[in-house]
Amino acid sequence: MKILFIGDIMGKPGRKAVSALLPGLRTEYAPDIVIANVENLAHGKGVTEKTLQEIVSAGVDFCTSGNHIWSKGESQNLLSQPNGIVLRPANYPPQNTGKGYALVPVGSRQILIINLMGRVLMKEHLDCPFRAFDEILKTVKHKDIAAIFVDFHGEATSEKNVFGLYADGRASAVVGTHTHVQTADDQILPKGTAYITDVGMVGLKHSSVGINYEGILPSFLYQTPPKHEIADTGLVGFHAVVIDIDPDTQRATSIERIQKDIEV
């Protein structure tokens, strides 16, 4: 089973890049499912029905998110749909709208997709992602699952590293999101879990993690509030990973980073 996962998609330029590149990547890699992190889909914060439909039309099958998923009012509706394709982190308080994991059909099989969020250096006060992971596995232990995929949305490299090793042999893949900078530590962990600390983003390359740097600069020079602005056009860096998994063992056999630049 082959999974193509796309890092945080940042606003309009990110959506344009996905629309331009994903059809070719689907042909080149022939993934069984395409997953993307969409917490930054609508102008860098949140997701709307229109922006979600744009990337679905481009070929995205399922979506994870993070702390910015609540930034647009429409997210409540998207998260509450019984057969919706957008997850929010599972370790948010359970009274929140939406779900943090899903069993998703892929051909004649199904995979478990889990969305978690780290706590180190994050302002939210969330439940423990390690214990949340354990509880989810208990809930689905009698299900026939071909692969277990985890998007760990977090700031701290150390927290992601430790979670990857904690989940090694129990998850098929653990991929990090949130920092928007692709790391070069893609690997298969000792017990068979594919891992990368951060997949990166799909966003403006010469920017502050996808946001126009001119609006961010004064906050460093003068300690004044930053301006959250994203240009509609420019050079976009597209970051993703392709992971191969043996569905009989749930173990990963390979993980490959994808880096492409495109003018949009």
Number of folded domains in the chain? 1
**pLDDT of 82 higher than 90:** no
Q: Are 61 and 89 in contact (CB under 8 A)?
A: no
CATH, residue 244: 3.60.21.10
Q: What is the pTM of this model?
A: 0.97
* Per-residue pLDDT, 216: 96
Active site residue 142: no
Q: Rounded mean pLDDT of 253-259?
A: 98
* Per-residue pLDDT, 71: 93
Q: 19: which residues sit within 8 A by CB, 6+ positions away? A: 54, 55, 57, 58
Q: b vs e for 176-186, b when ≥16 Cβ sit within 10 Å of the residue's Cβ?
A: bbbbbebeeeb
Q: What would the DSSP string read from start to end of 76-104?
A: HHHHH-TT-SB---TTS-TTSSS-SEEEE
* Per-residue pLDDT, 255: 98
> CA 145 from chain center: how many Å?
20
- The rounded percent of the chain whose pLDDT value lies above 90 is 96
Q: Predicted confidence band at 165 (pLDDT cuts at 50, 70, 90)? A: very high
- Active-site residue, from 43, 68, 153, 178: 68
Structural domain for 182, as ranges = 2-263
Output the six-digit token pair for 152. 């760990």
Q: Predicted confidence band at 135 (pLDDT cuts at 50, 70, 90)? A: very high
The Cα 86–Cα 62 span in angstroms is 7
Q: Predicted confidence band at 89 (pLDDT cuts at 50, 70, 90)? A: very high
